[in-house]
Amino acid sequence: MTAETKIHELLALEPDTPLIERQLILAHVLNKTRSWVIAHDLDSVRDATYSAYKERLTRCKQGEPVAYILGYKDFWRHRFAVNAATLIPRPETEILVEAALAILPNEPNTILDLGTGSGAIAISLANERPAWYVVASDFSADALAVAKRNAKGTKKITFFQGDWGKAIKPNSVQLIVCNPPYIEPGDEHLAELTFEPSSALISPCKGLHDLHKVIKEAHDLLSDGGTLLLEHGYNQQDALLELLQNNNFNHIQTYIDLNQTPRAISAKLI
Ligand code: GLN
């Protein structure tokens, strides 16, 4: 292509890639918004833009998630930086934010996000509930670095590095929120998730190992009447009901995602 290449010609490349992804990638390369790209489709772009766009489009075609190509993902009300050290926040995980906001009022409470990754859940909650004191932990120092960057300007949030709740004081938390790895090793969906950290996705024992661990730890970390709120896989609700009941949790509530799939569960320690 020449210096005369027009935006609509660039957007016509790789038609098998969803148009919204092509628009977002081009907007990113041009340092403009997606609406700007749509409104300027007759503008010409420079050769450097063309090659930068083409390189990213090829990565996208090869399966790299758009969020990693752009370096961000929008979640709840914010834009979160992401990289290969963090899971890309999913729309269904917004259920955890919505449920957490409904579980506790905006009063001084300690909320713990275990395995915070990019910080999406913890930061969204801290921004929605200024009276809460939000603590977020992750085992991965690289993920925590991303979360800390995302938390810039967010008040009342503290980060810990540690294996689940090990660094947290017992009986000190009113609500634990957690989106642990829960995909069974060998699950066919993993073939599409090869760019994301497997430690954030895969868990042994039919995907239940980490969920079980968090349930046991929550028992020690929660104060009386505290709530545990977990995201889980599409086929794990029954196993979790049993695990929660066997660990003295009650007032169990289940949540479905936008695809009508059971996706989260909460329970109280009373
Ligand atoms: N919900 C994600 C997926 O199915 C997995 C997230 C997780 O393991 N916590 O792609």
Q: What is the pLDDT of residues 210-222, one digit of tens each?
A: 999 999 999 999 9
Tokens of 198: 């497997």
Query: What pLDDT is attached to residue 61?
Result: 94
Q: Parse the chain into domains and list their residue ranges.
A: 4-62, 87-269
Query: What pLDDT is attached to residue 162?
Result: 86
Query: What pLDDT is attached to residue 196?
Result: 97
- Inform me whether the pLDDT recorded for 165 exceeds 80: no
The one-letter code for the residue type at 146 is V
The answer regarding whether domain 87-269 maps to CATH 3.40.50.150 reads yes
DSSP string covering 25-53 = HHHHHHTS-HHHHHHTTT-B--HHHHHHH
> What percent of the chain is modeled with pLDDT above 70?
99
User: From ligand 1's centre to the CA of 261, what distance in Å?
Assistant: 13
CA 235 to chain centre: 20
Query: What pLDDT is attached to residue 126?
Result: 98
- State the pairing for strand pair 110-114/173-178: parallel
Query: What pLDDT is attached to residue 2?
Result: 52
- State the pairing for strand pair 110-114/133-138: parallel
Closest residue to atom 5 of ligand 1, CA basis: 201
Q: In whole angstroms, how far apart are CA 67 and each of 10, 35, 50, 63, 258?
A: 20, 18, 20, 11, 21
Which H or E element spans position 255? strand 249-256
Q: What is the pLDDT of residues 104-154, one digit of tens each?
A: 999 999 999 999 999 999 999 999 999 999 999 999 999 999 999 999 999
* pLDDT averaged over every residue in the chain: 95
Query: What pLDDT is attached to residue 168?
Result: 83
140 lines ligand 1 (CB under 6 A): no
Query: What pLDDT is attached to residue 25?
Result: 97
Q: In whole angstroms, how far apart are CA 238 and each of 88, 242, 262, 263?
A: 26, 6, 10, 12
Q: What is the pLDDT of residues 77-93, one digit of tens each?
A: 999 999 999 999 999 99
Q: Which among 91, 165, 101, 156 is positioned nearest to 123, based on CA atoms?
A: 156
190 lines ligand 1 (CB under 6 A): no
Per-residue pLDDT, averaged over 38-54, amounts to 94
Q: Which among 68, 101, 73, 78 is positioned nearest to 89, based on CA atoms?
A: 73
Query: What pLDDT is attached to residue 3?
Result: 56
Query: What pLDDT is attached to residue 124?
Result: 98
SS3 225: strand
- Inform me whether the pLDDT recorded for 167 exceeds 80: no
Please give the number of the atom of ligand 1 that sits closest to the Cα of 87: 6
Per-residue pLDDT, averaged over 18-27, amounts to 96
Whole-structure pTM value: 0.93
Please give the number of the atom of ligand 1 that sits closest to the Cα of 200: 8
